[in-house]
Structure 1
């Protein structure tokens, strides 16, 4: 009896090995990857502005113009909120509780603070010159009013007092501007982030689902950020992306076991020439808008050199708006996050590799 049971067990093992061998995964075509994964990619809209704190005084602006001046410079919060700058990027779901991975520069647009200080310095010089000119004009008006009252019966004492107060105010403003220490000003960014899905009809910011920025990388060359839907729940039907390593990558234990049994590790190894693809919103909503709502694009290329732990370089074409897109192997797993391009060409572009992604997410 024991011999029969043992023989039956061996037969079952052989059969299971055969099943797993026959079920060994194979690379997919880009159409299959897009059909399977595209629902998990989202268009990110970031409405943002910058705040300058100068010794307790607050100014707002949205960027630096071609002439070097600060655009939409104001001290009115309601005004800057209405005139916020807008940037678009791409992100993708990595968990069922609404977590979305993207680039840091998509949700926290970087700005050169030295450039801002120079621009503000130029602005201060212009404002100071304006106050000085207004002070000179007030002084001239004061002289005219003074002599007019001196040689006539006109009582212009109230006018003289008002002009004197104006001149004193202009003098205080000029002195204040001369004493500003630009090295001590603080510049911060404020962002309002939302997402839209494949198939959504969007015409305004109200059509984007609100998100919160929950984590931003503090390492210069790790351009990653994590945002989360305020609902804290990934909508039903949205694909959850997985990573091309043997770790769970937000899979369930059963999913992880099944994937490990049938995983083609050799086919997944990245090297120069490895075929890759990317799903993203190139050029933001401009290219994505269709009569059937937003549609992301899938582009393909190959690794141009053997990767290291700092970056991937590939020939996948990209445009502005594709920042934060998942870079996928032909099994549909994430191998990187698109973050930069070589200026002047669309054929040499860069992604953040898996090791850095996992470190950022605390998976290593």
Structure 2
């Protein structure tokens, strides 16, 4: 009975479907009724396709091409990978120092936080001359260009670096070295005065001195005394026959020769100034391939007991690779709180480029030890291994707070090194 009643309804549905050329499903129907309707629709679709010489499968029976899926999947991976790479390289957020102003706990964390902020400094300097206001560099053998290495670290986003003053002015580094340099300067002034005449044009000073340097002479009391002494020994025991007539003839001849020689006027030593000066000073970043960035000396400490100075990049912009500058506001300024036995960590470039250079670029190094003596207000002593090149390196406590700037040590024995306490930085650098 129920089937008979349903048949008229199905007939009506078929007619309605034919008129509207589309199928509507009633999800309130029973599964059996829905299945029967689907079979009828499939037969109608196949018949219609045969009439047009095309075989069309229902949408439910179409198969997806696996090669297209793989191709589109691979393309999506490449696109996402490219976006991730360039997004990290060019759009990565810059970590601010505030994010790490907490105890870093380990040497490795301190190193990772500040390795990019510590730079290798290369300083080239030489002898310069100023004569009557004309300045030029001396290139004679005694005035060879000198190169030293040191360490510095960024303290702001404007390219400012803290280091030692003796890295920036090595000719004033110690009394013994300064005495040697002053002797060289004095000798050079006398040699220049012995060959440079007033008729030489100022533009030709440099080339004239270089060409005639072998003929220059400097007064040396010790060698002069030796020469006179040797002459007296050679003449001892010899007998000379002299006559007033011979002496008169010789004197007249000498006078005539002197009168025939054209007299030249030489530039006075008082008008010659010789001094040492920076030729080029630059820095290289950790992980760089000896890409040197030019700098200028911004300031030196007035107090000779405070071995600190400021460098600044010429473009006045701290590189983007420096994720964290060394925050002076987070430094330990109460130096009396630093006690012997507490940990000290140094990041720097001992031995300069010789030790820093690797097959994959310049690498900064980490060394640690302990504070071994209380601060005297200017400097503090620690047992960190150090040598030339590490001058200007930052020294941290176990939490990564700046406590000192490394500046000296004992060459003969390792483990006795000193740093200028961090509070003294504020005497030359104002935030």
Same fold by TM (over 0.5)? yes
Distance 2:127 2:191 in 1: 21
Alignment CA distance shift 1:131-1:272 (3 Å):
closer
- 1:164–1:189 Cα change, 3 Å: same
Q: Which residue of 1 aligns with 2:112?
A: 35
Q: Is the 2:331–2:402 contact (alpha carbons within 8 Å) kept by the matching residues of 1?
A: no
Number of residue pairs the alignment of both structures matches: 268
Specify whether residues 244 and 272 from structure 1 end up closer, same or farther in structure 2 by C-alpha distance, changes over 3 A only: farther
Give the secondary-structure state (helix, strand or coil) at the position aligned to 2:120. Answer: strand
Q: Pick one of 46, 52, 55 that aligns with 2:123.
A: 46
Alignment of 1:156-305 (within 5 A): 167-168=261-262, 172-173=265-266, 180=269, 185=273, 187-202=275-290, 207-238=291-322, 239-243=324-328, 245=330, 269-305=337-373
**Larger helix fraction of residues:** 2
The alpha-carbon deviation at position 114 of structure 1 amounts to 4.5
- CA shift in 2, pair 1:181/1:118, >3 Å: farther
Aligned-pair Cα RMSD in Å: 3.5
1:54 and 1:181 map into 2 onto residues whose CA distance is 9
Residue 338 of structure 1 corresponds to: 406
Checking the alignment, whether the CA contact within 8 Å between 1:107 and 1:213 is kept in structure 2 is yes
Distance 1:165 1:200, change over 3 A: farther
Q: Cα 1:121–1:224, aligned 2, differ >3 Å: closer, same or farther? A: closer
Give the C-alpha shift of residue 60 in structure 1: 3.8
Q: Which of 320, 324, 328 is the matching residue for 2:392?
A: 324
Q: Displacement, 1:91?
A: 0.6
Distance 1:124 1:359, change over 3 A: closer
The answer (yes or no) to whether the contact 1:336–1:357 under 8 Å persists in 2 is: no
Structure 1 residues 24 and 343: CA distance shift in structure 2, 3 A: closer
Deviation at 1:343?
3.1
**Matches of 1:33 and 1:110 in 2, distance apart?**
34
Post-superposition offset of 1:107: 2.0
Question: Distance between the aligned counterparts of 2:101 and 2:119, measured in 1?
Answer: 30
How far did 1:164 drift? 8.7
Q: What's the counterpart of residue 79 of structure 1?
A: none
Give the 3 Å change call, closer, same or farther, for CA 210–120 of structure 1 in structure 2.
closer
Give the match for residue 184 of structure 2.
119
Kept in 1: contact 2:188–2:274 (CA 8 A): no
- On the 8 A contact 2:123/2:278 being kept in 1, the answer is no
> Once the 2 structures are TM-superposed, how far is the Cα of residue 165 of structure 1 from its aligned partner?
11
In 2, the alpha carbon distance for the partners of 1:91 and 1:293 equals 18
Q: Where in structure 2 are there 5+ consecutive unaligned residues?
A: 1-99, 195-213, 218-256
Q: Which has the larger radius of gyration?
A: 2
| Structure 1 segments unaligned to the other structure (5+ residues) | 1-22, 63-69, 74-82, 133-162, 250-264
- Please give the per-residue CA displacement for 1:167-225, whole angstroms capped at 9, x wherever unaligned: 546x645xx5xx6359x8452412422111111112xxxx2011121111121011111
SS in 2 for 1:303: strand
Residue 168 of structure 2 is matched in structure 1 by 107
Task: Report the TM-score when normalising by structure 2.
Answer: 0.55
Deviations 1:83-140 (A, max 9, x none): 63221111111011211111112122224554334334445677859469xxxxxxxx
Q: CA deviation at 1:42?
A: 0.7
TM-superposed CA distance for 1:55, in Å, is 5.7
Contact 2:171 2:276 in 1 (8 A): no
* Distance in 2 separating the partners of 1:118 and 1:357: 34
What SS is found at the alignment partner of 2:150?
strand
Work out whether residues 331 and 401 of structure 2, in 8 Å CA contact, stay in contact via their aligned partners in 1. no
> Is 1:355 equivalent to 2:420 in the alignment?
no
8 Å CA contact 1:281–1:296 kept in 2: the answer is yes
